[in-house]
Structure 1
Amino acid sequence: MTRHVGIDLAWGTTARTGVAVLDEGGRLVHSSSVVTDAQIDDLLAEHVGTAPVVAAIDAPLVVPNATGMREAERLVTRHFGRFSAGAYPANRANPHFDPPRAECLAHRHGWATDPGVRPDDATSVAVEVYPHPAMVMLFGLDRVLPYKARRGRDVASRTAAWQLLLDHLDRVAGTLLGLPSNPRWAEIRHATATARRPVDLDRLEDEVDAIVCAYLAWLWHHEPERMVVLGTAADGYIVVPGLPDPHEARSRPTTPRRDPDAARRRAVDAVLAEMPMLTPEAAQRLVAIVSGELLA
């Protein structure tokens, strides 16, 4: 039974790495963040075991060039630069990419890194992805969501962006991933809605990006016709879920389509903020009672 793994991989071994795992049906069975290679390996051993893997890694995977920029990054920037989703150059002059940590991870676990190799019961694969352009295509954005820590972004503005991000994920992938009933997802929604300090949001970035990567791994496995490989196996590549129309005006909405469950989720977050002693499940039940759902 194939596992779909998303890894928001830190370039070095001192920053946090997000890891998310989907089961064979696409349901999110684990998400967290760790630091060391050994911790990543332990998580994979626990939640993947010997099952075949389709992994989507947000980190340079194939980096043969000594200097400069890979063609994959040029192509990403050409297609997605107008959405503020250009790619950072990777080359072997950067010690983090000589060799790339992602390449070492894939080799350690026996994952094929050639995008021409399709996964099956006997073949595990890994591809390089990049969440920002993926979100542009998946969510229909005209600009990347400003949820990450950057100069000039305060907690209030980032919290608003986080709510958009999570609403988009619920809308696009929530049913497949089983997010409405996932306790960890409820904790993430509560933590972002009630954040008071930058660190309250920072500690969740890698984990949620990994969930996006895991969804991309599922798409690579089950809906390959949607996926586009920018670059080559020899020179490096980045996989994206489609390309924007070069003639399309930047007028696509950044707010999600109307979500009938959004009000309920916000109500649960508000209850948890006022009564932090409750579990997410208890808060959901309380909201259901108050709204009359259990009395109908």
Structure 2
Amino acid sequence: MDIYIGIDLAWGEKNLSGFCVLTPHANKLKILDIKLVKSIDEILQEILLYKEHNIYVGIDAPLVVPNKTGNRDIEKNFNKDFSKYKISMLPANRDLLTKYTDNIRSEELFLKLSACGFKRDYNSSKVVFEVYTHSTIAVCFNNYKILPYKRKKGRNTEFIKEQLDIYKKYLLDVISPHAILQTQLSPIKGAKLKEYEDMLDSLACGYAIYYCQYNKCKFYSIDREDTFVTPI
């Protein structure tokens, strides 16, 4: 069985990460599991539950970070390619990412997955790549425009909920009906709304790693090896 795992990884130890498990079913992806997880070891344990299958993992976080400051080549090249759509990636560097924890959590997860045989290669039976929710949503669903569902100055809770409703409808086009995609957002507030967003993001990550296996995509390299992939 082919298993697609999406992880919206929190940069800090105190925050929860969105985590989902998908598999192809009836021309869509079926949700086998979706939850919030905390530690890197817990995430690894959840992934390895499916070790007897082909596993494709998409993580919205930097897996390889050689640079102390500034941008990686991944961000530079992605931002150049997607500038016409006003979509960009934030800088990923060691100084920035170690503000949240002593180590870089995404790098730790990647190293542990690598030790378990995961490769940045779709020809492997155990695959891991960086993915990006914003470019996935824009290319696959939102006519090459960013969906403004992230909380920023000038966006109130009502607006965020409207965008999240659009988000879950997009996901229903490619994912079979599930309780998470039928959730009524009106009573959800505060941290619970952020947790819901994180779980939707994990679904977008899982869909991204699935989509890029079979459709037009672009790989961005670091240390001379493909590391990040996005629909184009």
TM range (shorter): 0.7 to 0.9
From 102, 106, 113, the equivalent of 1:102 is 106
Larger Rg: 1
Unpaired stretches in structure 1, ≥5 consecutive residues: 243-296
From 230, 236, 241, the equivalent of 2:231 is 241
Is 2:75–2:89's contact at 8 Å kept on the other side of the alignment? yes
Output the CA distance in 2 between the equivalents of 1:105 and 1:125: 13
Is 1:73–1:87's contact at 8 Å kept on the other side of the alignment? yes
Is 1:72–1:236's contact at 8 Å kept on the other side of the alignment? no
Deviation at 1:78, TM superposition (A): 1.7
> Given residue 104 of structure 1, which amino acid in structure 2 is its aligned partner?
E
Q: Which residue of 2 aligns with 1:138?
A: 140
Is 2:220–2:228's contact at 8 Å kept on the other side of the alignment? yes
The alignment partner of 2:15 has SS state of coil
Unpaired stretches in structure 2, ≥5 consecutive residues: none
Count of aligned pairs: 225
Output the CA distance in 2 between the equivalents of 1:99 and 1:111: 22
Closer, same or farther in 2 for the Cα pair 1:130/1:146, shift >3 Å? Answer: same
Structure 2 residue 148 is the aligned partner of structure 1 residue 112: no
Deviations 1:136-181 (A, max 9, x none): 101133532221222221111111111111122223x1xxx31x2x
TM-score by length of 2: 0.85
Is 1:71–1:236's contact at 8 Å kept on the other side of the alignment? no
Q: Which residue of 1 aligns with 2:157?
A: 155
Output the CA distance in 2 between the equivalents of 1:235 and 1:124: 16
RCO higher in structure (CA 8 A, sep ≥6) = 2
The 4+ residue runs of structure 1 with deviation greater than 6 A are none
Please give the residue correspondences for 1:180-259 in structure 2 after superposition, counting only pairs within 5 Å.
180=177, 182-186=178-182, 189-190=183-184, 192=185, 194-195=186-187, 197-221=189-213, 223=214, 225-234=215-224, 237-242=227-232
Closer, same or farther in 2 for the Cα pair 1:6/1:119, shift >3 Å? Answer: farther
Identity fraction in percent: 25
Closer, same or farther in 2 for the Cα pair 1:24/1:111, shift >3 Å? Answer: farther
Is 1:16–1:35's contact at 8 Å kept on the other side of the alignment? yes
Deviation at 1:113, TM superposition (A): 4.1
Closer, same or farther in 2 for the Cα pair 1:195/1:82, shift >3 Å? Answer: farther
Q: Which residue of 2 aligns with 1:63?
A: 65
Output the CA distance in 2 between the equivalents of 1:152 and 1:136: 21
Deviation at 1:50, TM superposition (A): 3.5
Q: Which residue of 2 aligns with 1:3?
A: 3
Answer 1 or 2: which has greater helix percent. Answer: 1
Structure 2 residue 30 is the aligned partner of structure 1 residue 27: yes
Output the CA distance in 2 between the equivalents of 1:203 and 1:84: 26
TM-score by length of 1: 0.68
Closer, same or farther in 2 for the Cα pair 1:219/1:39, shift >3 Å? Answer: same
